[in-house]
Amino acid sequence: MTLRPRLIVSDLDGTFLDPMGQVTAINRDAVVDAVDAGIGVLLATGRPPRWLGVIEDLPVGHPLVISSNGALLWDLQERRPLISHPVDAVVAQDAMAAIRDELPEVTFGVEIGMRFGHEPGWDWFEEAPVGDAFFTATGTDLVAEPFVKFLVQHVGLPSDPLAATVEQIVGDALTVTHSNFHSSIGLLEVSAPGVSKATLLQEWCIDQGIDAADVAAFGDMPNDRTMLEWVGQPHIMEQSHPSLHSVVGSSGRPAVRIGSNAASAVGARIREWL
């Protein structure tokens, strides 16, 4: 039987949240009981802070979330970052120009904590949101404020081939990942070099005195891969991206494939440790 971890880390969309983007009673109760049993719980997501309301009331014993693919350690109570790894604006502009030279159909957006900016032509595929949290800009105006990641949208080219092309263009100047493979619309998330869920998780665990071998993690998409490889007990969802099927954790254990988020598989796995 797998040893009980000291810390459980879970992605949100496609993993801890159900297909409607909600916390199920099974997952919530499992987390509560894990915390009561002395197991730490930390959520790690590509979501920006403005999309974290669904977990604000989840009783994990602390208000911290790894947000924006590891660019932010966000405090849900104080609504501010405790750690931030912004993207260098000059590096981002150079990368955007190079990407557009190769793929002129792309549109860019930037994540600024609680705000989101995008170029004209950004496709929302539904009614565009309005309010102070959203703005439209181009060129230097788009990157005028510090931002933690920029997005690359391509209508017609899926995320996997889009990522392969963009990774070749930017090299190691930036970190390229994504969390979508079902759609023909490509959407990439680009962070500062070396920034990922894994790097911020490692930073947090060092501060807490927790070894990677004592961490169990759950994920389903390419932006979870480095996190799953860093921990001792990696788990992937039934519907995970094919690139995760070969994941091996730092302990040498292959990732355990569990059920789907629709079946609250994360909560069911946690129950096995209690």
- Distances in Å between the Cα of 2 and the Cα atoms of 11, 27, 212, 224 are 21, 20, 15, 21
Pairing relationship of beta strands 115-118 and 64-67 according to DSSP bridges? unpaired
Q: H helices of the chain, where?
A: 25-36, 89-102, 139-142, 159-170, 197-208, 225-230, 265-272
Q: Span 7-84+195-272: which CATH code?
A: 3.40.50.1000
pTM: predicted TM-score of the whole model, two decimal places: 0.95
What CATH number labels 89-191? Answer: 3.30.1240.10
Percent of the chain at pLDDT > 90 equals 92
pLDDT digits (tens, 9 = 90+) for 231-271: 999 999 999 999 999 999 999 999 999 999 999 999 999 99
In angstroms, rounded to a whole number, what is the distance separating the alpha carbons of residues 30 and 272?
10
pLDDT band at residue 1 under the 50/70/90 scheme: very low
Average pLDDT, whole number, for the chain? Answer: 95
pLDDT of residue 184: 82
Cα separation, 250 vs 74, in Å, equals 26
Q: Write down the domain spans for the chain.
A: 7-84+195-272, 89-191
Which SS3 state, helix, strand or coil, does residue 111 take? strand
As a whole number of angstroms, the distance between CA 119 and CA 226 comes to 30
Which strand ranges, in their side-by-side order, compose the sheet holding 72-75? Answer: 80-84, 72-75, 64-67, 40-44, 7-10, 215-219, 233-236, 256-257
Distance CA 48, CA 66 (A): 10
Which tokens go with 59? 């009783």
pLDDT in tens, 150-201: 999 999 899 999 999 999 999 999 999 999 876 788 999 999 999 999 999 9
Q: Specify the pLDDT at position 91.
A: 97
Q: What pLDDT, on the 0 to 100 scale, is given for residue 124?
A: 83
